[in-house]
Chains A and B, each alone.
Chain A
Amino acid sequence: MDIAITGLRRSFGRVTALRGVDLTVRGGMYGLLGGNGAGKTTLMRIMAGVIAPGAGQVRIGGYDLTTRSGRRQVQRRLGYVPQDLGLYPDLSPREFLDYVALLKGLDDSAARRRQVEELLDVVGLTGVAGRRMKGFSGGQRRRVGIAQALLGDPALLIVDEPTAGLDPEERIRFRTLLAGLAGQRTVLLSTHIVEDVAQTCHETAVLAAGQVIYSGSVADLTRAAEGTTWQMSSAGAPPIEGVVVSAVARETGTQFRVISPARPSPDATSVAPTLEDGYLALMQRHSSTAVG
């Protein structure tokens, strides 16, 4: 399902969350990166039809989201996992999925129940399908969230911060699950965890202060830090020049990984960048441009 957004603006009172977003997504798994308050959740909510756009154009699969009927059409083809799921704790996953399936208009009882059981199996919750969700872990809740989103086999899956608060093992399992789902549909993954995008997406956009400051391939974003990523050792304080990406304590001193346009110290060596380096280099460039 193609997504075409042009000049999207959205304000809440005096706060402007989106300041003219332009974005094009063409199928597969697409990452949306950005820090806290960048406007990711507002953008996700607009695409999910939860809130109406303020100004600009948003078209998903040809449907115009500035109209009520367009939003409804998209919602019929959408699976959405909000950041805060707010599940009903007194329901079991099976009951919850059945309820959501009815709200999604899956009226054929037998087909609906079959799909619920299949999805419980896909997300690995068959063993606890009849248990109340009250005592579920964060990972189990997220899996229920994914299962409900997949009801009705949606062409578009929007997932907002799916791995926040999960342990590393659960995070990897979740990422693998999401990547597997992107084969037959568009999956939009919003996150501030760069590693999640690095491991699952070919294409990504970076949002900062309500604007898209990058959209393109993950490889090109990684290359944004080429020639500006350095590694150096220091016995004392971190380097003054650049942004420190990581600091690893060793017997000989601390090994720093630094993003800096200039060599931060004479003994610093240039290293191949990762996506995280590219992202930080982009953010650094953007903030210096914004200040300048």
Chain B
Amino acid sequence: MTTGEPGWAAGVPNDVEMWRHELRRLGWAAGCAPALALVAAVAVVALTAGEGLERPQASLVLLTGLEALLPLAVAMAATSVVAAGRARELHLSLPTPYAMVLGRRLGLLAAATSAVAVVFTGAIWAAGLWSGPSLVASPLLWAPAVAWLGGLAVLVALVTRSLLLATTVAAGVWLAHQLFAASFAAHAWSRPLYLFPVSRLDAYPGWMTDRLVLTATVAPLAAGVLLLLRRPERMLTEEEA
């Protein structure tokens, strides 16, 4: 059998083939989730435009899409990658560590998220609807929240080995941040941990510093995830174990 025969793609390097396989394993639902979250924000603006939606309001909805909806969608997608993957036992018996397989899939999700977020930011800036920080600092709007909520969801998925529990925790935290914005803002210690400062607290002075603090708090979550990934049986669900 040589390259180019029926059933085989011709002349594709192994690395590309591996990433192509992992992209398919990520699945269209998880891969499209970040884009769909932002499309939902655009849809809200489009549907309410005829009802006298002012530009500042439209801008806020779009920023909310970027700052709040995107992290939620990514957290759900990341949870499904970790907790709903198939053939886990087989993967755990292969010489390529399953943690690396999951890392590739989560990496693809992160890449898709970054790409759609950057394109979305550029698009609303070009449309004159951008009311967030400078374009250079714009990743601070969504990236820390995506990493924090996504990291938390993955950590819970690994600890509980339950898709339901992980998604519930991620959605619960997201909802708490939406409902109790004022409470988070009221204390100096909780303000840096608040996920949605621009859309819910109107980008108070010093929010960028707080964003960097939030980014730093991702480190213990990431360390927890890496620690759990070193214990292969953590990857089997309760039913499989």
Contact = CB atoms under 8 A, between A and B. Distances in A.
A, B co-complexed: yes
Interface of A: 12, 45, 48-52, 72, 75-76, 78, 80, 82, 84-88, 90-91, 94-95, 98-100, 102-105, 107, 109-110, 113-114, 116-117, 129-130, 148
Contacts of B21: 95, 98-99, 102
B2 A110 contact: yes
Nearest to A10: B233
B86 A50 contact: no
Interface string B2-42: 11010110001010011001001100000000000000000
A52 B241 CA distance: 13
B87 A85 contact: yes
Contacts of B3: 109-110, 113
A146 to B, nearest CB: 12
Contacts of B134: none
A88 B93 contact: no
Contacts, number: 88
A129 B232 contact: no
Interface stretch (B94-102, B174-182, B196-204): B94-102
Question: Dominant SS at the B interface?
Answer: loop
Contacts of B8: 94, 113
Contact of A51 (B5, B24, B233): B233
A138 B166 CA distance: 32
Nearest to B94: A103
A85 B240 CA distance: 11
Contacts of B1: 110, 113-114, 116-117
Contacts of A75: 93-95
A91 B25 CA distance: 10
B126 interface: no
Contacts of A104: 94-96
B86 A76 contact: no
Interface residues of B, number: 31
Given A95-B21, A98-B17, A113-B5, 6 more contacts: A12-B241, A50-B233, A52-B232, A72-B95, A78-B93, A99-B21
Nearest to A114: B1
Nearest to A91: B24
Nearest to A105: B95
B101 A49 contact: no
A90 B233 CA distance: 26
B93 A82 contact: yes
Contacts of A76: 95
19 contacts: A49-B93, A50-B93, A51-B92, A75-B93, A76-B95, A84-B89, A87-B86, A90-B24, A91-B24, A98-B17, A99-B21, A100-B90, A102-B14, A109-B14, A109-B17, A113-B1, A113-B3, A113-B8, A116-B1
A75 B93 CA distance: 6
Contacts of B7: 94, 129-130
Nearest to B239: A84
B93 A86 contact: no
Given A90-B24, A129-B7, A52 B92 contact: no
B4 to A, nearest CB: 10
Nearest to A83: B89
A120 B197 CA distance: 56
Contacts of A109: 3, 12, 14, 17
B91 interface: yes
Contact of A82 (B89, B96, B233): B89
A87 B233 CA distance: 19
Contacts of B88: 86
Contacts of B87: 85-88
Kindly list the 10 A-B residue pairs having the minimum CB-CB distance in the complex, ordered from nearest.
A80-B93, A82-B89, A48-B93, A103-B96, A50-B92, A86-B87, A51-B233, A114-B1, A75-B95, A99-B21
B86 A88 contact: yes
A52 B235 CA distance: 13
Interface in B56-103: 86-96, 101
Contact of B94 (A84, A86, A87, A100): A100
B185 to A, nearest CB: 43
B232 A148 contact: no
Nearest to B12: A109
A86 B90 contact: yes
Contacts of B240: 84
Contacts of B241: 12
Contacts of A117: 1
Nearest to A50: B92
A99 B24 CA distance: 11
B92 A49 contact: yes
Nearest to B5: A113
Contacts of B12: 109
